[in-house]
């Protein structure tokens, strides 16, 4: 079976003079395998396609895909958007008293599956010319747990609540006070409990438009669980939250699964592992198709995902594995200091910050960990010269490239124009092409306008833009937001390689422990009272820094025996008690 996909947002048919059609040997032989549609874009007829690949290779905009799939998969198509559009094969099954995790790359159907499970989309089972039919869906799943699920969903016997992926869109639909929004949806009478548990009390009297990303995330989660539903579908709940807030969120989700069905899409693998009972891996080709694996235990699924292969199904969906190499626990002596700073202090009305003296060397990445609103971004801004410390000095004449925490798409320029305006020479140099442009998958974004990018695409562009600038010091604030798990691991490696090979320096603020494990040489740990006081330590070794940080939030980590990835120990488990008693909250190197 051949699957043909046209990524319409990339197709520039007016610019290429129909090369994808003119060079096709099937067309030249007199058969219309591919022809121009009424909308001025090419249409590939899959039953005539011979899979020569010429149209794909001819397209300069990477807009065409021809993929070969087993014929037996046709019976598993759940939803298809159009003749040459995305299609989803398979569906996860929600289970009572369980948290079902969905793990996979962006653009391969995870959010589509949540829309189907919520009832907002009735799947068309591949018949894109007709609207989905509920009776046909129930019949399609005869003999499976999903048959009963859809019967109850469509009959109104169970109700689904959805936490949306992009919480920063909430102010566009509601501009009132946060407490007002939450009180209108509090069908279960649990608002007070949830606001206490999520730390939302200070946000209730403020307008939605004035809330931070983390506060918006917690409002969205609280609004979802305030609803009296039987099924909760949670799409990427940890973005903008610090690790302590993520752990509280994961514990809340696990508690709410009692007597309920919960399905979660999450890219922070440490948190995902901690809260998921069973997992479905989604794999496929971005924008073309997505396939849902069989259900697996959380540990097996995450290890398979990192390996890029599902052994049980004999499927390889990625041509490389993501591994966690153990590094030397003491690399400080390897670096020649290029920037130092004395103890720094900064005060605002209602907030004070102090930072311990430190330094950074050439080729070194220092990670910055700690709760939200304790001064991490303010510290970065002081190094960047955006903010001036009230006392203390930053020594070392260094040019700075800064990627802020919150990025906006307020430019109508194309990605190519934006990158070229900042780093015209570097964007074409072989080193940066191979180390930044290609691994960050920017090639197919070059002709897209910045204001049309998705959250994940915009994040990749922002990271790349920061690294492409000619600077001595790179300050990168929360680079993992809206990136899928593989993209996060990839971005961490891109940052590390560029800093090491160019002999530059970087501070990276991040809450994803996997990301930090891969990118950082040393750590700074922040503590304090959110929004009131903050204190940043001097840089310390990874082991000392992680020990100090994890002790402050009372959790322990171990390394997985197969992949060496970090794993959170279950609270009060044998390993948790042993590590706490020994003072080793962080896994041994």
Per-residue pLDDT of the chain (589 residues; tens, 9 = 90+): 778 888 877 787 777 777 788 778 878 777 788 888 877 788 888 888 888 888 888 887 778 888 877 666 666 899 999 888 899 999 999 999 999 999 999 889 999 999 999 999 999 999 999 999 999 999 999 999 999 999 999 999 999 999 998 887 888 888 889 999 999 999 999 999 999 999 898 889 999 988 888 889 999 999 999 999 999 999 999 988 988 899 999 999 999 999 999 999 999 999 999 999 999 999 998 888 999 999 999 999 999 999 999 988 888 988 888 877 655 444 445 678 888 999 999 999 989 999 999 999 999 999 999 888 899 888 988 887 888 999 999 887 778 899 988 777 777 889 999 999 988 788 889 999 999 999 999 987 888 889 888 888 999 999 999 999 999 999 998 999 889 998 999 999 999 999 999 999 999 999 998 899 889 999 999 999 888 999 999 999 988 999 999 998 899 999 888 888 889 998 899 999 999 999 899 875 5
- The pLDDT assigned to 345 comes to 96
Q: Give the number of other Cβ atoms within 10 Å of residue 113's Cβ.
A: 27
| Phi/psi of residue 359, nearest 5 degrees | -155, 165
Cα–Cα distances in angstroms (integers) from residue 114 to residues 111, 224, 505, in the given order: 5, 14, 41
User: Do residues 560 and 568 touch, judged by C-beta distance below 8 A?
Assistant: no
Query: Which tokens in the block code for residue 334?
Result: 């390897």
- The pLDDT assigned to 494 comes to 96
Q: How far apart are CA 203 and CA 201, in angstroms?
A: 5
Q: Which letter does DSSP use for residue 435 in this model?
A: I
User: Do residues 274 and 95 touch, judged by C-beta distance below 8 A?
Assistant: no
Alpha helices in 386-448 (DSSP H): 415-423, 430-432
| Phi/psi of residue 249, nearest 5 degrees | -65, -45
Q: How far apart are CA 86 and CA 128, in angstroms?
A: 11
Alpha helices in 294-394 (DSSP H): 298-307, 376-384
Q: How far apart are CA 23 and CA 60, in angstroms?
A: 13
- The pLDDT assigned to 73 comes to 67
- The pLDDT assigned to 31 comes to 78
- The pLDDT assigned to 399 comes to 86
User: Do residues 394 and 574 touch, judged by C-beta distance below 8 A?
Assistant: no
Instruction: List the Cα angle 555/105/89 in 5-degree steps.
Output: 125
User: Do residues 281 and 310 touch, judged by C-beta distance below 8 A?
Assistant: yes
Q: How far apart are CA 457 and CA 436, in angstroms?
A: 14
Q: How far apart are CA 252 and CA 232, in angstroms?
A: 12
| Phi/psi of residue 32, nearest 5 degrees | -85, 75
Q: How far apart are CA 266 and CA 248, in angstroms?
A: 15
- The pLDDT assigned to 329 comes to 47
Average pLDDT, the chain: 89
Q: Is the dihedral of CA 10, 106, 208, 181 positive or negative?
A: positive
User: Do residues 132 and 310 touch, judged by C-beta distance below 8 A?
Assistant: no
User: Do residues 4 and 65 touch, judged by C-beta distance below 8 A?
Assistant: yes
Per DSSP, the three-state class of 522 is strand
User: Do residues 360 and 474 touch, judged by C-beta distance below 8 A?
Assistant: no
- The pLDDT assigned to 454 comes to 84
- How far does CA 451 lie from the centroid of its chain? 19
CB-count exposure of residue 420 (10 Å: 0-12, 13-18, 19+): middle
Domains and CATH numbers, the chain: 2-68 (3.30.70.20), 74-159+229-316 (3.40.50.300), 335-542 (3.40.50.300), 554-589 (no CATH)
């Amino acid at each position: 079976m051949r699957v043909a996909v046209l990524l319409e947002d990339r197709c520039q048919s007016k610019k290429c003079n129909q090369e994808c059609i003119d060079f096709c040997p099937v067309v030249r032989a007199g058969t219309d395998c591919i022809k121009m549609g009424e909308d001025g874009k090419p249409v590939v007829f899959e039953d005539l396609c011979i899979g020569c690949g010429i149209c794909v290779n001819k397209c300069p905009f990477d807009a065409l895909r021809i993929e070969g799939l087993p014929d037996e998969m046709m019976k598993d198509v759940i939803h298809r958007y159009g003749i040459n559009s995305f299609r989803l094969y398979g569906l996860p099954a929600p289970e009572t008293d369980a948290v079902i995790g969905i793990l996979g790359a962006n653009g391969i159907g995870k959010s589509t599956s949540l829309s189907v499970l919520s009832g907002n989309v009735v799947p068309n089972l591949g018949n894109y010319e007709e609207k989905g039919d509920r009776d046909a869906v129930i019949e399609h799943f005869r003999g499976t747990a999903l048959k009963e699920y859809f019967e109850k969903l469509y009959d109104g016997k169970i109700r689904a609540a959805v936490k949306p992926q992009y919480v920063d869109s909430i102010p566009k639909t509601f501009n009132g006070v946060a407490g007002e929004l939450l009180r209108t949806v509090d069908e279960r009478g649990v608002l007070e409990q949830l606001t206490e548990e999520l730390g939302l009390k200070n946000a209730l009297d403020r307008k939605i438009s004035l809330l931070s990303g983390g506060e918006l995330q917690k409002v969205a989660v609280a609004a979802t669980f305030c609803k009296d539903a039987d099924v909760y579908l949670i799409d990427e709940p940890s973005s903008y939250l610090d690790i302590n807030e993520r752990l509280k969120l994961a514990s809340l989700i696990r508690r709410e699964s009692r007597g309920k069905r919960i399905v979660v899409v999450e890219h922070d693998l440490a948190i995902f592992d901690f809260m998921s009972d069973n997992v479905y891996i989604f794999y496929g080709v971005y924008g073309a198709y997505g396939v849902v694996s069989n259900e697996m235990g959380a540990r097996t699924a995450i290890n398979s995902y990192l390996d890029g292969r599902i052994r049980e199904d004999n499927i390889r969906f990625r041509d490389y594995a993501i591994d966690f190499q153990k590094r030397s626990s003491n690399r400080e002596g390897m670096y020649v200091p290029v920037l130092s700073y004395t103890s720094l202090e900064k005060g605002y009305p209602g907030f004070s910050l102090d930072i311990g003296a430190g330094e950074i060397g050439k080729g070194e990445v220092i990670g910055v960990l700690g709760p939200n609103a304790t001064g991490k971004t303010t510290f970065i801004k002081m190094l960047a010269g955006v903010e001036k410390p009230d006392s203390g000095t930053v020594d070392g004449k260094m040019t700075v490239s800064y990627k802020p925490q919150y990025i906006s798409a307020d430019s109508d320029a194309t990605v190519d124009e934006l990158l070229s305006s900042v780093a015209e020479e570097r964007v074409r140099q072989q080193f940066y092409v191979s180390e930044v442009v290609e691994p960050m998958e920017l090639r197919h974004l070059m002709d897209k306008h910045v204001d049309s990018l998705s959250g994940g695409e915009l994040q990749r562009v922002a990271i790349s833009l920061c690294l492409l600038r000619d600077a001595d010091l790179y300050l990168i604030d929360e680079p993992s937001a809206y990136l899928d798990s593989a993209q996060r691991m990839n971005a961490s490696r891109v940052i590390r390689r560029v800093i090491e090979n160019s002999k530059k320096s970087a501070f990276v603020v991040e809450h994803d422990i996997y990301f930090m494990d891969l990118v950082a040489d040393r750590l700074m740990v922040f503590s304090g009272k959110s929004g009131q006081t903050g204190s940043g330590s001097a840089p310390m070794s990874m082991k000392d820094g992680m020990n100090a940080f994890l002790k402050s939030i009372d959790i322990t980590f171990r390394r997985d025996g197969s992949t060496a990835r970090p794993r959170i120990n279950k609270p009060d488990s044998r390993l948790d008690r042993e590590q706490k008693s020994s003072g080793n909250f962080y896994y041994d190197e």
